[in-house]
A = this chain, B = another copy of it.
Amino acid sequence: MTLDPFMQAAIEEAEKGLAEGGIPIGSVLVHHGKIIGRGHNRRVQSGSPTLHGEMDALENAGRQPAKVYQESTLYTTLSPCAMCSGAILLYGIPKVVIGEHKTFLGEEELLVSRGVELDVVHNERCVELMDLFISASPELWNEDIGE
């Protein structure tokens, strides 16, 4: 099966994060078939508690008019936490493609209840990246999800 190029780009971001010693979660924001923002979790690299992968992609997309978000799809390698789900709701992003939700199940129920379309693609590489990281640094992962 061919992997969606946008999920592939999100995975590449996650892999960059792992190579930097960071938490391997990546994300891209796609508008009309074009990546307008890409990023990965920066807790370790920048000491940031707010730059999860999804937030970093939004940050790197820069300021956008409401209409752009409302026509975009967010790709993320891991089910979005409450903060990232809140950002999706704030900006009215209508669709989120999720690499996996086996490692961590975020606020998918809340997103669906607000009309966001979710597509969980159960990608094995996404799971493997998290397994690699969590087995090496469980405390960093717990910190990232406030546990």
Kindly state whether residue A49 has any CB partner on chain B within 8 Å: yes
Q: Is the interface of A mostly helix, strand, loop or mixed?
A: helix
The interface residues of chain B lying within 8 Å CB-to-CB of A83 are 83, 86-87, 89-90
How often does this chain occur in the complex, in copies?
2
Q: In whole Å, how far is A111's beta carbon from the nearest beta carbon of chain B?
A: 10
| C-alpha gap A146/B68 in the complex (Å) | 10
Stretch at the interface among A10-18, A53-61, A95-103, A123-131: A53-61
Chain A 80-130 residues near chain B, CB threshold 8 A: 81-87, 89-92, 107, 110
Q: In whole Å, how far is A101's beta carbon from the nearest beta carbon of chain B?
A: 16
Q: In whole Å, how far is A36's beta carbon from the nearest beta carbon of chain B?
A: 12
Q: A58 and B66 in contact (CB under 8 A), knowing A81-B90, A86-B82, A107-B86?
A: no
| C-alpha gap A84/B84 in the complex (Å) | 9
Among candidates B43, B66, B82, B142, residue contacting A146 with C-beta atoms closer than 8 Å: B66
12 A-B pairs besides A50-B50, A50-B87, A90-B145 with CB distance below 8 A are A47-B63, A49-B58, A50-B55, A66-B142, A66-B147, A69-B146, A82-B86, A82-B89, A83-B89, A84-B86, A86-B86, A110-B110
